[in-house]
Amino acid sequence: MYEQKLAQIAALKADQPQNIAIQCFDPAYFATLGPDEQARLMTCLNSGIENPDSEMGCYACQPSDYDDFRPFFAKALARNHRVAEDAKHTNNWDLSSVDGLPDEGVLDMAALGLPPLSMRVRVGRNLADFPLPGSMTRDQRVALETRMMAAFQVLIDHPDYGGAYHSLTPGNLNQITQAQYQELVDAHIMFKDMSNDSYLLAAGIAADWPHGRGCYVSDDRSFIIWVGEEDHLRIMCMERGTVLNRVFDRLKTALDVVNGIDGLTFAMSDDYGVVTSCPTNLGTAMRASVHIQLPNLTADGTDQKAKAIAKPLGLSVRGAGGEHTPIGADGTVDISPSARFCITEAQIIAALYKGIALLKAEEEAAG
Ligand code: ADP
Ligand code: DAR
327-358: pLDDT as tens digits: 999 999 999 999 999 999 999 999 999 999 99
Report the pLDDT value the prediction gives residue 1, as an integer from 0 to 100: 86
The CATH number of 3-81 is 1.10.135.10
* % of the chain surpassing 70 pLDDT: 100
Q: Which atom of ligand 2 is nearest to the CA of 51?
A: 1
CA distance 285 to 124: 5
- Atom 5 in ligand 1: which residue has the minimum CA distance? 322
As a whole number, the mean pLDDT across the chain is 97
Q: Could you tell me which of 315, 317, 276, 325 has the C-alpha nearest to residue 58?
A: 276
Q: How many residues does the chain have?
A: 367
Q: Could you tell me which of 290, 287, 191, 284 has the C-alpha nearest to residue 239?
A: 290
Q: For the chain, which residues make up each domain, given as ranges? A: 3-81
Would you name the residues annotated as active-site residues? Answer: 122, 230, 234, 278, 280, 287, 318, 323
pLDDT tens-digit series, residues 189-220: 999 999 999 999 999 999 999 999 999 999 99
The number of the ligand nearest the C-alpha atom of 54 reads 2
54 CB near ligand 2 (under 6 Å): yes
Q: Which atom of ligand 2 is nearest to the CA of 48?
A: 11
The pLDDT-based confidence of 317 (bands split at 50, 70, 90) is very high
The pLDDT-based confidence of 28 (bands split at 50, 70, 90) is very high
* % of the chain surpassing 90 pLDDT: 99
Residue 151 pLDDT more than 90?
A: yes
CB 106 within 8 A of CB 243: yes
Report the pLDDT value the prediction gives residue 156, as an integer from 0 to 100: 97
Which amino acid is residue 66, in one-letter code?
Y
Residue 31 pLDDT more than 90?
A: yes
pLDDT tens-digit series, residues 221-259: 999 999 999 999 999 999 999 999 999 999 999 999 999
229 CB near ligand 2 (under 6 Å): no
pLDDT tens-digit series, residues 154-174: 999 999 999 999 999 999 999
Report the pLDDT value the prediction gives residue 59, as an integer from 0 to 100: 98
Report the pLDDT value the prediction gives residue 130, as an integer from 0 to 100: 98
47 Cα–ligand 2 center, Å: 9
| Mean pLDDT computed over 300-304 | 94
The continuous run of DSSP H or E covering 208 comes out as none
The number of the ligand nearest the C-alpha atom of 198 reads 2
CB 45 within 8 A of CB 25: yes
| Mean pLDDT computed over 162-189 | 98
278 CB near ligand 2 (under 6 Å): yes
The pLDDT-based confidence of 103 (bands split at 50, 70, 90) is confident
| SS3 of residue 333 by DSSP | strand
287 CB near ligand 1 (under 6 Å): yes
Contacts of 43 (CB under 8 A, 6+ apart): 61, 134, 135, 204
- 109, 251, 291, 330: residue to mutate for ligand 1 pocket, most atoms within 8 A of CB: 291
230 Cα–ligand 2 center, Å: 10
56 CB near ligand 2 (under 6 Å): yes
